[in-house]
Amino acid sequence: MDYNPMPTILPAENFDIEADAAALRAAMKGFGTDEKAIIDMLTARSNAQRQKIKEHFLREYGRDLIDDLKSELEGRFEGVIVGLMLRPVEYLCKQLHKAMEGAGTNESTLVEILCTKSNDEMADIVSCYENMYDRPLVEHICSETSGHFRRLLTLIVTGVRDPAGTVDAEKAKELAQALYNAGEAKLGTDEEVFNRILAHSSFAQLRLIFEEYKQLSGQTIEQAIKHEMSGKLHDAMMAIVECVQSPPTFFAIRLFKAMDGIGTDDTTLIRIIVSRSEIDLGNIKQEFERLYNRTLYSAVKSETSGDYKRALCALLGGC
């Protein structure tokens, strides 16, 4: 599904770096912090504008704006604001690193970030990760994952997806047949074939392959993956399929799951709202309302509180 991306955060008009830097300095200087001033400003500037404010802050005051914000803010609210101040690619690299450091690995974060990216976006993440952590991303992933799941992520990270976005109807038929032969048509599953096709083909080509698959087998690729795969490999393949069909739907479902039931997965909530705010958060809001019959704004409002709530709601741009 092709869609017209609708961000909720746009560059501020009449942008005045000096005034913004001075206002931020004033909001944090002396006793107490003016959290409202920080929220109102940073959620109304694009990331490129925030980077300029950060550079000016260092030149003008000799201070690191992120360090100052960290010393003044705390908890989940700090997570939102610091996330906004990092370049988008740095933010995602930090999230990947956090998902893999220490005991245990948060595979679902790896899936959400890695399985939804184009080759160009992936190349930026790979180069930024190595700069930030002095370690190749692919090596870190290999040390934290295993089996066919590791193989799929490795293929995605090494950038094997067709960069030209080629769409070839004959090839789509051939690959749909290959998927059928590797799954439903045999006893057991040849995961390598699924991995290769899902990691190499462009998203536009995959869309065609999935249509052909349905014609050929009488069931959707989602049904096939559900029958043939399990665990994290199943989740990763489903993420690719969902993003091929509609990225906003994929993220709307992730947000719902982050808020469903007892407790809230704040890390996922923050990451999606911050990282998609300048891409397609407007579309995600529409999909959320279509799927769950309530606005994303009202869901976030009921799951959060205080400055944390105010910052997320500002990024959502109201109801």
For 165-201, write each residue's pLDDT tens digit: 889 999 999 999 999 999 887 767 899 999 999 999 9
Rg (CA), the chain: 21
How much is the average pLDDT of 261-277?
Answer: 95
pLDDT at residue 166, as a whole number: 81
pLDDT at residue 114, as a whole number: 97
pLDDT classification of 3: cutoffs 50, 70, 90: confident
pLDDT at residue 186, as a whole number: 73
How much is the average pLDDT of 77-94?
Answer: 98
Would you give the DSSP letter of residue 229?
Answer: -
pLDDT at residue 1, as a whole number: 56
Q: What is the mean pLDDT of the chain?
A: 95
How much is the average pLDDT of 235-244?
Answer: 96
- Cβ contact 69:38 at 8 Å: yes
Residue 3: CB atoms within 10 A of its CB come to: 13
Helix axis angle for 247-259 and 266-276, nearest 10°, is 150
Structure tokens at 175: 């690959």
Distances (CA, A) of 244 to 90, 211, 215, 262, 274: 24, 12, 18, 31, 22
Q: What is the DSSP string of 34-102?
A: -HHHHHHHHTTS-HHHHHHHHHHHHHHHS--HHHHHHHH--HHHHHHHHHHHS-HHHHHHHHHHHHHSS
Cα distance between residue 13 and residue 40, in whole Å: 15
